[in-house]
């Protein structure tokens, strides 16, 4: 389902403003993050009626997307430097 373009723009503005406030960043920075996000793609394409979700829900989705993106960036950097990850199991003795 596609939303009315004017209502969708207002939704974007509210989400961006709330995202900026919750992350203590400028609205310009929040706008850049939003327009380069998967969330924006989903909303603008009318996927899963994301535009029908609350502003707060969408902001938390954007925050989670940013966290996932940051972790993937860190993993990529570390893998380029040949770091290896191991999971510490406190129940298993170390060799």
pLDDT in tens, 26-50: 999 999 999 999 999 999 888 878 8
The H-or-E segment that residue 1 falls in is none
Residue 64, pLDDT > 90, answer yes
- The answer to whether the CB of 10 falls within 8 A of the CB of 3 is no
Query: b/e per residue, 17-36, with b = 16+ CB within 10 A?
Result: ebbbeeeeeeeeebbebbee
Percentage above 90 pLDDT, the chain: 57
Reported confidence tier of residue 4, pLDDT bands at 50, 70, 90: confident
pLDDT in tens, 7-19: 999 999 999 999 9
Measured between alpha carbons, how far is residue 50 from residues 8, 24, 25 in Å?
Answer: 11, 24, 24
The predicted model gives 82-93 an average pLDDT of 62
Provide DSSP, 61-82.
HHHHHHHHHHHHHHHHHHHHTT
- The answer to whether the CB of 63 falls within 8 A of the CB of 56 is no
Arithmetic mean of pLDDT over the chain: 86
What is the model's pTM?
Answer: 0.75
């Amino acid at each position: 389902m596609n939303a009315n373009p004017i209502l969708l723009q207002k939704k974007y503005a509210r989400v961006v403003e709330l995202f900026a406030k919750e992350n203590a960043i400028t609205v310009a920075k929040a706008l850049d993050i939003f327009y380069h996000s998967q969330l924006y793609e989903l909303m603008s394409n009318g996927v899963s009626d994301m535009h029908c979700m609350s502003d707060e829900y969408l902001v938390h989705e954007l925050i989670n997307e940013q966290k996932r993106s940051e972790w993937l960036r860190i993993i990529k950097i570390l893998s380029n430097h040949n770091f290896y990850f191991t999971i510490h199991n406190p129940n298993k003795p170390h060799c």
